[in-house]
Amino acid sequence: MLDKGLSVGEAQAAFSNINRLSGGIASFLGKVRDDGETQALELTHYAPLTEPAIRELAQEALSRFALDGVLVWHRIGVMTRGQPIVLVMAAAPHRRAAFDAVDFLMDHLKSASWLWKREKRGGTWEWIEPRAEDRLDLSRWT
Amino acid sequence: MLDKGLSVGEAQAAFSNINRLSGGIASFLGKVRDDGETQALELTHYAPLTEPAIRELAQEALSRFALDGVLVWHRIGVMTRGQPIVLVMAAAPHRRAAFDAVDFLMDHLKSASWLWKREKRGGTWEWIEPRAEDRLDLSRWT
Amino acid sequence: MVRIVYLGKFADWAGRDEEEFEAPLDWEGLAQRVEPRIAEELRGDRAHISLDGVVLADKQALSAKDGSEVALLPPVSGG
Amino acid sequence: MVRIVYLGKFADWAGRDEEEFEAPLDWEGLAQRVEPRIAEELRGDRAHISLDGVVLADKQALSAKDGSEVALLPPVSGG
C-alpha cells in the first residue's frame, strides 16, 4: 500500500531485473479512468488489515502457480484521472502461469482490500457506498 | 521487429503515457531463459513477411477486442539469457479485454513470425529445426 | 485504554480519526460511546469491527482489553 | 533480374544472403540454379518460397519477373 504516486516504470524495471532469468513477466496496471465528472478520488485503508491480507494473497499466488516472483502494489491517498491505482506483476518460466497469477491476484485483490473511497465531484467530496461502487469497480477492473 | 535491445522500460512508460486514460494496461514480456547450455541465440527474420503480418495481427486484435491501443515488439538478432525477446501490451477500458488481447497476440505471434533461430552451444552456432524447436518454444512461452 | 480507530466516513462522523475509551470495552460499551449513527451502522451487516488486526465474525462478541486497538470499518468501497 | 534472398540456414548453405538470377524465373529454373540441398529441401513441405512478400501456396507455380524478389524460406523455428 503506497501513499505516494507509483513509479510504475521503476517498479517494472526493478521487478524485471530481479526476475531477469524468468521466461516471462505478465503485468496489469489499473488506472483512474476519466468518467467526465470525478475530479479526484481518495482511497483510505486500514493498514493492520490490508497489509497482511495482501501479503497473504501474494503468498497464495506463489503457492498456487509456478512462479518466480510476484509484485502487488496498491495506491492509497488522493489520485486524479490517468494515475495508477494498482500494479500487479508475475514472473514465471511459463506464460500461462504468469498470466493466471496476475488474473488471480486482480480477482482477489478487492476482497483483500479494506479500502474506503471518496470522490470529488463539483468541488465536493463524497464517500462512495458499495452498492454504487460495485458497478464502478467492475467497470474499472473487470 | 527490432535488431537492437528492447528498452522495455521506455516502451512500457511510453505506451502507458499514450494510453494514460485507459482503465488498464496488460502486458507480457518474454525473455531468453537460461537452459544452462545455450550461450546465445540469434533470430533472423524476413521483413517483407514479418512486418505486414505483425501489423495485421495487431489490427486484428484491435478489431476483435475493445482496446485503446496495442504494442507488439519482437527482437531479432543476437540475444543472451535474460534479454527480452518479445513485448506485447494492450490498453483497454476493461481488464478482461486487455488480458485477452495480450493472450491472443502471444498465441498468434508465432504463426505471424517468419523467424529462423540458431543457438550457440559450446562455442558452435547451430540452426534450430522446428521439431526440436516446437518443444523449446512451448516451454518458453506457453 | 482501548484505542478506537475510525475509518472512512466514520472518521467524518466522529470528527476525528481515533480516540481512546476506557478498558475493558465490549460491544455495549462501544455502542454507547460512539456517535449514534456510527453505532446504528455498526449494527448492520455491511459494517465491521476489527480487534487488533482481526475482523470479528460476531461484532457483539467484542472484548477489548487495555492496550487493544478496535477499528470501526464502514462498508468497504472496493479498491 | 530476379533477386534471390536466402534465409536462415539456406544463407549458410548458399554462402551468401542474396544473389541475382536472370528473369523470368520459374520453379524449374530456380531449382536448377540454387544449391542442390536447398532445392531438395524446397521440395519438402516445410520450406517455403515467397514472391514479392507473398508466400506461395504452390511453390511450383513460381513465376518471377524482372525486378521481383524471391525469398527462400527454410522451415521456421518459431519465435
Assigned C-alpha cell, B119: 543457438
DSSP state of D59: G
Q: What is the pLDDT of residue D65?
A: 96
**What is the number of other CB atoms lying within 10 angstroms of the CB of residue B22?**
24
Does residue B3 lie within any of the structural domains?
no
Task: Kindly state whether D78 is in contact with chain B, defined as any CB-CB distance less than 8 angstroms.
Answer: yes
Does residue B1 lie within any of the structural domains?
no
| D55/B127 Cβ within 8 A | no
Cβ contacts of B140 on chain A, cutoff 8 Å: 23-24
Cβ contacts of C12 on chain A, cutoff 8 Å: 127
pTM for this prediction: 0.84
Q: What is the mean pLDDT of residues C37-44?
A: 95
DSSP bridge pairs for C49? C72
Cβ-nearest to D7 among B44, B110, B113: B44
Where residue A14 falls among pLDDT bands split at 50, 70, 90?
confident
Task: Kindly state whether B125 is in contact with chain D, defined as any CB-CB distance less than 8 angstroms.
Answer: no
| D50/B116 Cβ within 8 A | no
Non-local (6+) Cβ contacts of B135 within 8 A are none
Q: What is the mean pLDDT of residues A7-31?
A: 87
Neighbours of chain C (3+ CB pairs under 8 A): A
Question: Tens of pLDDT along B51-74?
Answer: 999 999 999 999 999 999 999 999
Chains A and C touch (3+ CB pairs under 8 A): yes
**Position with higher pLDDT, C50 vs B20:** C50
Does residue A2 lie within any of the structural domains?
no
Question: Tens of pLDDT along B111-130?
Answer: 777 889 999 999 999 998 76
Give yes or no for residue A36 having a pLDDT over 70: yes
Does residue A1 lie within any of the structural domains?
no
Where residue C30 falls among pLDDT bands split at 50, 70, 90?
very high
The residue among C72, B31, B128 whose CA lies nearest residue D9 is: B128
Q: What is the mean pLDDT of residues D29-38?
A: 96
Domain of residue B39, CATH code: 3.90.1170.40
Q: What is the pLDDT of residue A5?
A: 67
DSSP state of D34: S
- The H-assigned helical ranges of chain A are 8-18, 47-64, 95-112, 130-141
Give yes or no for residue A141 having a pLDDT over 70: no
Q: What is the pLDDT of residue A142?
A: 36
Give yes or no for residue D32 having a pLDDT over 70: yes
Does residue A66 lie within any of the structural domains?
yes
Instruction: Determine the residue of chain B that is closest to D53 in CA distance.
Output: B48
Count of domains observed in chain B: 1
Q: What is the mean pLDDT of residues B91-109?
A: 93
Give yes or no for residue B75 having a pLDDT over 70: yes
Q: What is the mean pLDDT of residues D51-62?
A: 94
Does the structure's ipTM exceed the value 0.85?
no
Does residue B2 lie within any of the structural domains?
no
Fill in the amino acid letter for D64: A
Does residue A3 lie within any of the structural domains?
no
Q: What is the mean pLDDT of residues C59-77?
A: 93
| C73/A137 Cβ within 8 A | no
Where residue A113 falls among pLDDT bands split at 50, 70, 90?
confident
The residue among A28, A34, A22 whose CA lies nearest residue A139 is: A34
- The H-assigned helical ranges of chain B are 8-18, 47-64, 95-112, 130-141
Tell whether the torsion through CA atoms of D30, D34, D37 and D41 is positive or negative: negative
Give yes or no for residue A83 having a pLDDT over 50: yes
Give yes or no for residue A126 having a pLDDT over 80: yes
Give yes or no for residue A140 having a pLDDT over 80: no
Task: Kindly state whether D26 is in contact with chain B, defined as any CB-CB distance less than 8 angstroms.
Answer: no
| Under 8 Å between Cβ of B56 and B105 | no
| Under 8 Å between Cβ of D50 and D30 | no
Q: What is the pLDDT of residue B71?
A: 95
Domain with B22, as residue range(s), is: 8-139
| D78/B127 Cβ within 8 A | no
Q: Which domains does chain D have, with CATH numbers?
A: 2-73 (3.10.20.30)
Cβ contacts of B98 on chain A, cutoff 8 Å: 28
Neighbours of chain D (3+ CB pairs under 8 A): B
Give yes or no for residue D71 having a pLDDT over 90: yes
